[in-house]
């Protein structure tokens, strides 16, 4: 552990950390291309970052970590890249089992999971089931996930419930809507990190991101490790979250 990492850890231990952190893990392909390596090698090293960040998040007391691992739109990538990613995902789920269980992590997934290859679905379901009683940290993988797709699905469920007389139009409120999302169990995001410098959210959790603090780092995902993560958590602490109020209201200096 570097001196800087030790210092950051000590600072983190002394105050608030965001309860729910979401990460758009981007830049694997560029990381590999910059080194003249196949893109898949970037995804492989990226899975090592997943391991490092998951353990680090658990250690510093993050309650929920949601990782954007594969979007609904990523299916349109070249077939060999998609296949390679699915195999890496399967291996990750197999290899991570001990870490997940030893650290009391509860693993879940959100997205169109039926679209995943059976081999991936199986190991995913096994680990989700076996870790379901763990109460250390909830690790959610957004897989085959698309925010718009999810919103449309929820709207359809609302329409069906109204048409069947189970729900009155006047009762369609934020709560009724949120409860029909695939990601209904996920709380609002407090901090959303995106690696690789891109200033966009790429269809990630539109409902939960509404009031998230956003942090974009130039680091590419395979090189995003503990030190960068801890710096991001400390940066979050400096933010003033106002939720539409004035600064004075939030600081309690006026009613
Ligand atoms: C993120 O890295 C991983 C996935 C989207 C699956 P990319 O593969 O998007 O890497 P870049 O953006 O091409 O560098
Ligand atoms: C977002 O990255 C999806 C994941 C990190 C899984 P992309 O690389 O797919 O996003 P765009 O295409 O640059 O918006
Ligand atoms: Mg990308």
Decide: helix, strand or coil at residue 14.
coil
Domain boundaries defined on the chain: 17-145+189-196+206-237, 147-186
Query: How many percent of the chain have pLDDT more than 70?
Result: 100
pLDDT at 193: 99
pLDDT value for 252: 93
Q: d(Cα 228, Cα 155) in Å, to the nearest integer? A: 38
Question: 226 CB less than 6 Å from ligand 1?
Answer: no
Compute the distance from residue 73 Cα to the ligand 2 centre, in Å: 8
Residue 139 predicted with pLDDT over 70: yes
Q: Could you identify the atom of ligand 2 that is nearest to the CA of residue 200?
A: 14
* Model pTM score: 0.97
What are 239-248's contacts with CB under 8 Å, separation 24+?
Answer: 239/213, 241/211, 241/213, 243/211
Q: Find out whether the beta carbon of 35 lies less than 6 Å from any atom of ligand 2.
A: no
Task: For 165-220, write each residue's pLDDT tens digit.
Answer: 999 999 999 999 999 999 999 999 999 999 999 999 999 999 999 999 999 999 99
For residues 22 and 104, what is the distance between their CA atoms, to the nearest angstrom?
19
Q: Which residues are catalytic?
A: 26, 74
Q: What is the pLDDT of residue 118?
A: 98
pLDDT at 110 over 70: yes
Question: Span 17-145+189-196+206-237: which CATH code?
Answer: 3.40.1180.10
Q: How much is the average pLDDT of 222-240?
A: 98
CA separation, residue 112 to residues 39, 89, 108, 146, 237 (Å):
24, 15, 13, 8, 34
- What average pLDDT does range 25-31 have in this prediction? 98
Q: State yes or no: pLDDT of 254 exceeds 80.
A: no
Q: Region 36-55: what's the mean pLDDT?
A: 98
203 among annotated binding-site residues: no
Chain mean pLDDT for the chain: 97
The pLDDT assigned to 255 comes to: 59
């Amino acid at each position: 552990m570097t001196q800087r990492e030790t210092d950051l850890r000590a600072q983190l231990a002394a105050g608030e950390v965001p309860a729910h952190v979401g990460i758009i893990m981007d830049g694997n392909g560029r990381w590999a291309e910059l080194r003249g390596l196949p893109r898949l090698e970037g995804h492989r090293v990226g899975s090592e970052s997943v391991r490092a960040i998951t353990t680090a998040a658990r250690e510093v007391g993050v309650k929920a970590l949601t990782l954007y691992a594969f979007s609904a739109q990523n299916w349109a990538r070249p077939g060999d890249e998609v296949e390679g990613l699915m195999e890496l995902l399967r291996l990750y789920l197999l290899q991570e089992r001990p870490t997940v269980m030893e650290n009391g992590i509860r693993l879940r997934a959100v997205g169109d999971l039926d679209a995943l290859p059976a081999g991936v679905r199986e190991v995913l379901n096994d680990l989700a089931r076996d870790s379901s009683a763990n109460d250390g940290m909830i690790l959610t993988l957004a897989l085959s996930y698309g925010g718009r797709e999810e919103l449309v699905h929820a709207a359809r469920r609302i329409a069906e419930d109204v048409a069947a007389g189970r729900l009155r139009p006047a009762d369609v409120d934020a709560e009724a809507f949120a409860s029909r999302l695939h990601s209904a169990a996920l709380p609002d995001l407090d901090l959303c990190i995106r690696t690789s410098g891109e200033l966009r959210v790429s269809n990630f959790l539109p409902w939960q991101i509404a009031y998230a603090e956003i942090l974009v780092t130039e680091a590419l995902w395979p090189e995003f490790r503990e030190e960068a993560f801890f710096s991001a958590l400390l940066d979050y602490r400096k933010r003033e979250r106002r939720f539409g109020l004035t600064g004075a209201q939030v600081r309690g200096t006026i009613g």
